[in-house]
Amino acid sequence: MAEEDGAAEAGEAGEAPKKKSKLPLLLGMILMLAGGGGAFFATFSGMLGGGGEEAHEESGGEDMAEAEPLEPVAFVPLDPIIIAMRTEGRAAHLRFRAELEVAPDKQEEVTLLMPRILDVLNTYLRAVEVSEIERPSALMTLRAQMLRRIQIVTGEGRVRDLLVTEFVVN
């Protein structure tokens, strides 16, 4: 009954229901843009933390520490490895090439262990599924796994890093 009374009153007055004003929305948008522009200016001009190019130039780079000399390093290249892989009925090949980062005094020791290193890499890469290789983050995971296996074969402290120079599946 209350609904009928409300409808009757609106019908009697002959007025359409009022639309909501868009003024608050418009004011909100203007304030948001002004605030964003002000924040950008304050940050870019250096008034807030960070500073722009002028702030960096004023410091003159005096606070920059001098670079320390690099540790002596040697690289032992690995022979290229080609692995035949099967994926969904088609043949695919993985071509892998890398270098081992070692201390110069350990270079000869690591070179002597090259057959073991190649064996552990061949064994590991043959066990890897093609779907694993196709993931975007696959190379980081594979690299970490291979480096750990190489460090186990060569002994701790001989191989610092594995640098992948070629990793192609075709």
Q: Over the stretch 94-134, which tens digit does the pLDDT of each residue have?
A: 999 999 999 999 999 999 999 999 999 999 999 998 888 88
Residues 99, 52 within the same domain: no
Are the beta carbons of 59 and 66 closer than 8 angstroms? no
Q: Name 9's Cβ contacts closer than 8 Å, sequence gap at least 6.
A: none
Residues paired with residue 92 on neighbouring β-strands, in sequence order: 85
Residues 157 and 107 occupy one common structural domain: yes
Count of domains observed in the chain: 2
- 3-state SS class at 66: coil
pTM of the model: 0.60
pLDDT digit string (tens) for 44-76?
Answer: 888 876 555 554 555 555 566 788 998 899 999
Domain that holds residue 119: 74-169
Q: What angle do CA 24, 30, 34 make, to 5 degrees?
A: 140
CA dist list (Å): 47 to 37, 63, 69:
14, 20, 36
- Residues 80 and 115 placed together within one structural domain of the fold: yes
- pLDDT single digits (tens) 11-43: 555 667 778 888 888 999 999 999 888 888 888
